[in-house]
Structure 1
Amino acid sequence: MAPSDPTPHGPRSPIDLAYPFTGRWLVQNSPADRVPSHGTRRFATSFAIDFVPVDDGGRSGAITGRTLVRPEPAHAFVGFGRAVSAPVTGTVVAMHDGEDDHDAFRGLPSLWYALTQPRRVAAGWSALAGNHVMISPAPGVVVAVCHLRRGSVAAARGARVIAGEQVGECGNSGNSTEPHVHVQAMDGTDPSSATALPITFGGRLPAGGAVVTGASG
């Protein structure tokens, strides 16, 4: 596992989570490979990790001629709408729904999408996270699950959720090139000022390129 960031209070022990899904998911942008995992420490994302739903062959969506030259509808991907569950037991301290699930961008369209990322960063957390849920399992710990499908967020602020309980569906809202789920932990609800916290899943941290399976998958 990658070492934790030094903080004003010293390194923190990892927050251990359950995979927030069932079925097969491809790991991307893992802090097991580098910190910061997404190439930036902004918005408390140093230890964030991405999971892309895939089929039995490890593919998130069919590769066609359109893939290389045009955006693709999000619903064409195998995991769009797949159930997403709470990775930890706790209280919902924030949630957001209503952001559109935009087209997916692979091949050449992904280069254009990368060029427009500064605009989303300037727009702030919600423009990056899209539809999301934040769960606090303990004081000073907040776990965010992001890029959920519009209209799928099933957890109300103040509600208590149990690890494994469905809180939404995999979508393509926010800063997302194809349907996936982004998970991060931090010490507050405001990502612009919070400190990132390291995470593990069942005591381990999968590396990028690994395919992991949820407990009931």
Structure 2
Amino acid sequence: MASLERDHHGERAGIDLAYPFRGRCLVQNSPADRVPSHGTQRFATAFAIDFVPVDGAGRSGAITGRTLVRPEPADVFVGFGRPVLAPVTGTVVAVHDGEDDHAAFRGLPSLWYALAQAGRVAAGWQALAGNHVLIAPRSGVVVAVCHVRRGSIRVAPGERVAVGDGVGECGNSGNSTEPHVHVQAMDGTDPSSAAAIPVTFGGRLPAGGTIVTGAPG
């Protein structure tokens, strides 16, 4: 994995990654369904993808009366604190920690959260990504793993990591309605000026709404 794919013209087409988690995850905001996958070209997110940890029944958290009308604590979700793994072998080029894991928003609260989206975009990359790790497998390619749990990042800039190494834990920092892992690739370390790079996982790109299984254990 971590190989840079080429199309039939020899142009750079994308990078193949490993899933950055163990167990089952629901795919959301996939570039298999639309590009830009997150509704914007900004911050090199055109080909970004989200993975929401779920239980055996495909649920990220229990549905209760509170779900529909009030924000929920992040730690009631099955993914909160689940290990986040390096999806690529390379060098850690940047980390950011210290952002709070805020409440989760489903049901009506998710609509209120969506209305504030413009403000988060205006606040910049850090407000969107929350706690994150940037890994460079080679010159000109940087893979970002975002929404990591506060205080859980266990790697530092300059450190080498291999596919499957633990880099932190799944959290709800940044622009996140519930605990999940956001992955994107770009051609530089500054998302405000970098270009997005397409990603695949094991040679495939899962569509939104599907459940995929990461590393065992």
How would you bin the TM-score normalised by the shorter chain? over 0.9
Aligned partner letter, 2:45: T
Task: Deviation per CA, 1:44-91: give whole Å up to 9, x if none.
Answer: 000000000000000000011100000000000011000000000000
On the 8 A contact 1:12/1:198 being kept in 2, the answer is no
Q: How many Å separate the matches in 2 of 1:18 and 1:136?
A: 14
Aligned to 1:166: 166
Aligned to 1:210: 210
Q: Percent identity?
A: 81
CA-CA distance at 1:122 after TM superposition: 1.0
Aligned partner letter, 2:123: A
Q: How many Å separate the matches in 1 of 2:115 and 2:23?
A: 33
Q: How many Å separate the matches in 2 of 1:21 and 1:161?
A: 15
Secondary structure of 1:121's partner?
A: helix
Secondary structure of 2:156's partner?
A: coil
Q: TM-score, normalised by structure 2?
A: 0.94
Aligned to 2:6: none
In the TM superposition, 1:147-158 aligns within 5 A as 147-158=147-158
CA-CA distance at 1:215 after TM superposition: 2.7
2:34 matches 1:34: yes
Q: How many Å separate the matches in 2 of 1:167 and 1:93?
A: 13
Q: How many Å separate the matches in 1 of 2:177 and 2:125?
A: 17
Aligned partner letter, 2:144: A
Unaligned stretches of 5+ residues in structure 2: 1-9
Aligned partner letter, 2:175: N
Aligned to 2:7: none
Aligned to 1:64: 64
Q: How many Å separate the matches in 2 of 1:112 and 1:210?
A: 26
Change in 2 beyond 3 A, CA 1:11/1:119? farther
CA-CA distance at 1:211 after TM superposition: 0.4
On the 8 A contact 1:15/1:199 being kept in 2, the answer is yes
Aligned to 1:120: 120
2:175 matches 1:175: yes
Q: How many Å separate the matches in 2 of 1:11 and 1:66?
A: 50
Aligned to 1:20: 20
2:101 matches 1:101: yes
Secondary structure of 2:13's partner?
A: coil
Unaligned stretches of 5+ residues in structure 1: 1-9
Q: How many Å separate the matches in 1 of 2:143 and 2:122?
A: 23
CA-CA distance at 1:210 after TM superposition: 0.7
Task: Deviation per CA, 1:183-205: give whole Å up to 9, x if none.
Answer: 00000000000000001000000
Q: How many Å separate the matches in 2 of 1:47 and 1:200?
A: 10
Secondary structure of 1:134's partner?
A: strand
Q: How many Å separate the matches in 2 of 1:201 and 1:62?
A: 29
Moved more, 119-128 or 43-52: 119-128
CA-CA distance at 1:11 after TM superposition: 5.2
CA-CA distance at 1:36 after TM superposition: 0.4
CA-CA distance at 1:12 after TM superposition: 2.3
On the 8 A contact 1:144/1:185 being kept in 2, the answer is yes
